[in-house]
Amino acid sequence: MKKRALSLILATAMVAGSLVACGGSTGAASSEPAAEAEAETEAEAETGAEEGSVLNVYCWNEEFKTRVKDHYPGYEEVDATHGKIGDIEVVWNITPNENNAYQNNLDEALLKQDEAAANDKVDLFLIEADYALKYVGSDYTMPIADLGITEEDLANQYSYTKDVVTDSNGVLKGVSWQGCPGVMIYNREAAKEVFGSDAPEDIQPKFADWDAFVASAKELKDKGYQVVSSVNDTYRVYSNNVTSPWVVDGKINIDANIDKWVDDSKALVDAGYAGTHDLWGDDWSKGFYPEGKVFAYFGPAWLIDFCMAADTEGSIANAGGWAATEGPQGFNWGGTWICAAAGTDNAAEIADIMRQLTCNVDIMTDIVKDDNDFVNNKPAMEAMAQDETYGDAVLGGQNALPMFCAGADKIVMDQITIYDQGCNEEFQKAMKGYFEGTTDKESAINAFYKAVVEKYPDLTY
């Protein structure tokens, strides 16, 4: 009898145990954020009352956090993911960009925005140009005007930085503190060895257009250097000078300039002038060190100071061994925009962060001096471009701002679509096989189409 009772207890325990874990969420409803909540916050923003006690920030790396920590008045760091601005607790939600993880995480949070408690709602999030329209075009971002930021406040910003985050109705939905005109960043030592000079005015003619670029690449190869680490380095230079968007009427479209990138790159790889590595990998970044034997990288200010291993002993950047020149074509790469999430309870605080970091000339000049970023303020940048006391240590003291200023004026971002990120990523991935000779161009392009349609099932080819 005892045994029977025991086994009964055991059996019930087992059944109960297996059922306990089965309670679960009922899946997030994918509804639009209620207009009600939006109206509420607008009212709050205007009166400036009732600030929420937690500011949730979504971003993909430490860059923005460092900017806020170093330059936003009154910010105190608590620990790696928490900070304080007055009574408001700042929570940093940092998810890396890799494999779309950042956007997936953000999307899930935004889709649940309605049901979330006030302190769990997304308040502020960052976006990049490649997928800006995805958020800008949705109701999940608040118009900047509703935050109380006026057009005069933003008058000094480069116009392209506003075009990127303006939706189809002409409403501005984000602001950026940086401009991202790109330059060609070359290795001074290699320039002296191969071309006999490291001065930008001597190097620029050798890379003034793509034909000169290839001719110089040959000279570099004879001395054992690769002109760029990977052909993907030049991708942005071509893809930013397109005359048609990635998607036309729901159909994937490959611009003539993108096609030119494929042909030019194939020639570079076949001649052994450049590799085919993926960006950000170890094979790609080996050129940050002298042993890597890479002549140049293409990139904007943030690449120079933030990504080229400037803090690592023995890197070229650490020794100030890089220099900048315009290169064959001007281009734009990246850039980070600050957006306010619809439904936020911290509208006034967000507005202040935006004003301080993107409109306050003093703070912006400090960012340039401390971090060598190129900030989104035209008069301030043009003034600093003339400043002979300013120089970037990574570039051996060169003041590259005149170049950036000229570049920023010329940036046009009128061909962007919500599909850009997927298309850019998949295109580079798909072409790799063609460059390496494992497949022909046609099947590589076919593979690209397939990959894009998997990501965006509403497109055709």
List residues near other proteins by CB under 8 A: 7, 11, 14-15, 17-19, 22, 30, 99-100, 107, 110-111, 131, 134-135, 137-138, 140, 275-278, 282-283, 286, 418-419, 429-430, 432-433, 436, 438-439, 443-444, 447, 450-451, 454-458
- Are the CB atoms for 287 and 315 separated by under 8 Å? no
Query: Residue 97 CB, nearest distance to other proteins (Å)?
Result: 14
Q: Among candidates 18, 34, 97, 85, which has minimal Cα distance to 55?
A: 85
Which is nearer to other proteins, 60 or 177 (by Cβ)?
60
Task: Kindly state the smallest distance separating residue 256's Cβ from other proteins, in Å.
Answer: 24
Element of type H or E holding 19: helix 2-20
Minimum Å distance from CB 381 to other proteins? 33
Nearest distance in Å: CB 418, other proteins? 5
DSSP notation for 108-174: HHHHTTTTS-GGGS--EEEEEGGGHHHHHTSTTB--GGGGT--TTTTTTS-HHHHHTTB-TTS-B--
Whole-Å CA distances, 209 to 86, 204, 417:
53, 9, 28
What is the token pair recorded at 214?
A: 């290839």
Task: Give min distance, CB of 152 to other proteins, in A.
Answer: 31
Q: How far apart are the first and last CA of the chain?
A: 73
Q: Please identify, using beta-carbon distances, which residue of 15 and 80 lies nearer to other proteins.
A: 15
Task: Please identify, using beta-carbon distances, which residue of 191 and 342 lies nearer to other proteins.
Answer: 342
What helix, strand, coil percent values describe the chain, rounded to 5?
50, 15, 35
Nearest CB to other proteins, comparing residues 151 and 283: 283
Question: 227 vs 237, which CB is nearer to other proteins?
Answer: 227
CB of 113 closer than 8 Å to CB of 397: no
Nearer to other proteins, 157 or 229 (CB): 229
Q: What is the closest distance, in whole angstroms, from the C-beta atom of residue 457 to other proteins in the complex?
A: 5
Q: Do 324 and 299 touch, CB atoms closer than 8 A?
A: no
Pairing of strands 82-85, 75-79: antiparallel
Give whichever of 72 and 461 is closer to other proteins, judged by the CB atom. 461
Q: Cβ of residue 190: shortest distance to other proteins, in angstroms?
A: 19
Nearest to 108 by CA among 206, 25, 27, 174: 27
The CB-of-266 to other proteins minimum distance in angstroms stands at 14
Cβ contacts of 202 within 8 Å, gap of 6 or more: 195, 196
Shortest CB 41 distance to other proteins, Å: 19
Q: How far is the CB of 17 from other proteins (least distance, A)?
A: 8
Q: 441-455 and 420-435 are packed helices; what angle lies between their axes, rounded to 10 degrees?
A: 150
* Distance from C-alpha of 361 to C-alpha of 376, rounded to nearest angstrom: 10
CB of 204 or CB of 415, closer to other proteins: 415
Nearer to other proteins, 59 or 191 (CB): 59
Shortest distance, position 452 Cβ to other proteins, whole Å: 10
Q: Between 275 and 327, whose beta carbon lies closer to other proteins? A: 275
State the Cα torsion 201-207-212-217 to the nearest 10°: 120
Contact at 8 Å (CB) between 390 and 399? yes
Nearer to other proteins, 131 or 160 (CB): 131
DSSP-assigned letters across all residues of 326-391: --SS-EE---EEEEEBTT-S-HHHHHHHHHHHHH-HHHHHHHHHHH---BS-HHHHHHHHT-TT--
CB 336 within 8 A of CB 135: no
Name which of 280, 275, 312, 267 is nearest 293 in CA terms. Answer: 275
